[in-house]
Amino acid sequence: MTDLENRVFDQMDYLDVQCDVEMHNLLAYMKHLKGQHEEALTNLKEAEDLIQQEYVNHSYVRSLVTWGNYAWLYYHMGRQAEAQAYLDKVENTCKELASPSRYTLACPEMYCQEGWALLKCGGLHYERAKACFEQALKVDHANSESSTGYAITMYRLDNIRKTGHTSLRHLKHAIRLNPENVYLKALLALKLQETGQEAEGEVCIQEALTNMSSHVYVLRYAAKFYRRKGDVNKAIQLLKEALKTTPDSSFLHHQIGLCYKSQIFQNNNATTWRHRGQPRENVEKLTRLVIYHLEYAVKIKPTFVLAYVHLANMYAEAGSHSKAEDIYQKLLGINSCTEEERLTIHFNYGRFQEHHKKSEVDALVHYLKAIKVGKISYIWDKSISSLNKLALKKLRNNKLDLESLSILGYSYKLQGDLDKALQYYEQALGLAAGLENSEGY
């Protein structure tokens, strides 16, 4: 709750997008959940004032959600007369606009308001947010608000799925409708970088950095751009500048942690941090900085699964296996993960078991769980690859390893290579039959 509140406040203070009304409504709901009803009423009043300022011609449509929230809040405060008064306002407006429903209205403004609220509430809700903006765009494809919301949602879904770059054309379309929106330009820069167009992406980043609009958010994404480019020092400089304004940003602390981790691993291609060709004191200092910032990120945002995984991996690299194990056990007990997060947890825990705990059996278990959880994605591919390598390694050590033969058959079946799957399944069946006959004798 605290993290969500902080992110909502940061967005209202530092991000120039068209959803301040929705953020005030979301804050009101959070205040209601905490029993702070008078503060919630203040948030709704602020939302209403904004509507009157920004949507003069369509204020009655934009006000429907806020009126509905007033009714909800007054009902829970036991103030039935005020609740009914706001219900009446909603009903009368729906009637005037010829809605077939007494209390709901299907229109682009409604879909956008729902989309922005869902988008702010995390990855579990992105698909629903996408559907909302799609509904709005069906009515008006050239609407700048709907296009902006849809492009941002698609960008975030691309990051979760790791399977494509669908958002690229949507970001370009949204920027054509919103040429001054530097936040969209920063996202486009990252997407261009991902698709091998880094030089063009850097032009977008530089344009965005020269504009003070949404500057804190632009700094965040510019830092990510330069970290991925390999200019870690510039990335850290940009993140520290952003941190001055938003010191409690879990995103910033996570990114700074990743930058310091890159500095540990960037000197050469050795397999462990202890052999990176750096002075031990420097490695230990950087390791402490990585752990400090990742610990801070998960303290601010206890649901930050990826930061927890990076923290566990860092503890493992530093030799603190018990701390890494504690984090993984905590992650494995979380029920509210997205599919991609669950896949990431099992894959990384499998690697931890294989490379640090030297338990090939447990590693296989979690690689298998990873590929059963997820759909085809970057992490899914890595899980399949790790599973195959480990099973083949076990087979080289023992050609009669029935389990490894079965696992390879299952793996190739999932990958769609039925010939190889059949080959390994037949070997497994032949071995099993041979074992049964020998036991009979």
CATH number at residue 73: 1.25.40.10
Q: What is the dihedral of CA 276, 279, 284, 287, to 10 degrees?
A: -40
Round to whole Å and give the CA distance between 165 and 226: 20
CA distances from 186 to 15, 148, 165, 202, 226 (A): 12, 13, 15, 9, 12
Of the candidates 180, 200, 181, the residue with the CA atom closest to the CA atom of residue 190: 200
Burial degree of 105 (CB within 10 A; 0-12, 13-18, 19+):
middle
> How many structural domains does the chain have?
1
User: Residue 53: what pLDDT?
Assistant: 86
- DSSP labels for 1-58? -HHHHHHHHHHHHH---S-HHHHHHHHHHHHHHTT-HHHHHHHHHHHHHHHHHH-GGG
End-to-end Cα separation, the chain, in angstroms: 66
User: Residue 436: what pLDDT?
Assistant: 64
CB distance 40 to 29 below 8 Å: yes
User: Residue 130: what pLDDT?
Assistant: 97
Round to whole Å and give the CA distance between 131 and 108: 12
Residue 198 domain flag:
no
User: Residue 277: what pLDDT?
Assistant: 58
User: Residue 268: what pLDDT?
Assistant: 44
User: Residue 356: what pLDDT?
Assistant: 96
Round to whole Å and give the CA distance between 207 and 197: 16
Residue 202 domain flag:
no
Output DSSP code: residue 58: G
Please give the structure tokens belonging to residue 92.
């009368």
Residue 73 domain flag:
yes
Residue 56 domain flag:
yes
Burial degree of 261 (CB within 10 A; 0-12, 13-18, 19+):
buried
Residue 9 domain flag:
yes
Q: 86 lies in which domain range?
A: 1-105
Residue 7 domain flag:
yes
* Three-state SS at 421: helix
Q: What's the count of helices (H) and strands (E) in the chain, helices before strands?
A: 22, 0
Residue 71: how many other CB atoms lie within 10 Å: 20
Residue 177 domain flag:
no
How many residues are listed for the chain in this entry? Answer: 441
- Counting Cα atoms < 13 Å in the Cβ hemisphere of 388 gives 16
Residue 106: how many other CB atoms lie within 10 Å: 12
Round to whole Å and give the CA distance between 172 and 157: 16
Round to whole Å and give the CA distance between 99 and 93: 9
Residue 220 domain flag:
no
- DSSP labels for 117-136? HHHHT-GGGHHHHHHHHHHH
Q: If you search the block for the tokens 């040429």, which residue do you land on?
A: 179
Q: Does the predicted model carry a pTM greater than 0.85?
A: no
User: Residue 4: what pLDDT?
Assistant: 82
- φ/ψ bin of 304: left (φ > 0), alpha (ψ from -120 to 50), beta (otherwise): beta
Q: pLDDT tens digits for the chain (441 residues)?
A: 777 888 888 888 887 776 788 899 999 999 999 999 999 999 999 999 988 887 766 677 889 999 999 999 999 999 999 999 999 999 999 999 889 999 888 888 889 999 999 999 888 899 999 999 999 999 888 899 999 999 999 999 998 876 678 899 999 999 999 998 999 999 999 999 999 999 999 999 999 999 887 888 899 999 999 999 999 999 999 999 999 998 988 999 999 999 999 999 875 444 455 545 568 888 999 999 999 999 999 999 898 999 999 999 999 999 999 999 999 999 999 887 888 889 999 999 999 999 999 999 999 999 999 998 877 778 899 999 999 999 999 999 988 888 899 999 999 998 889 999 999 899 889 888 776 665 543
Round to whole Å and give the CA distance between 152 and 221: 13
Within 8 A by CB and 6+ apart from 262, the residues are 227, 232
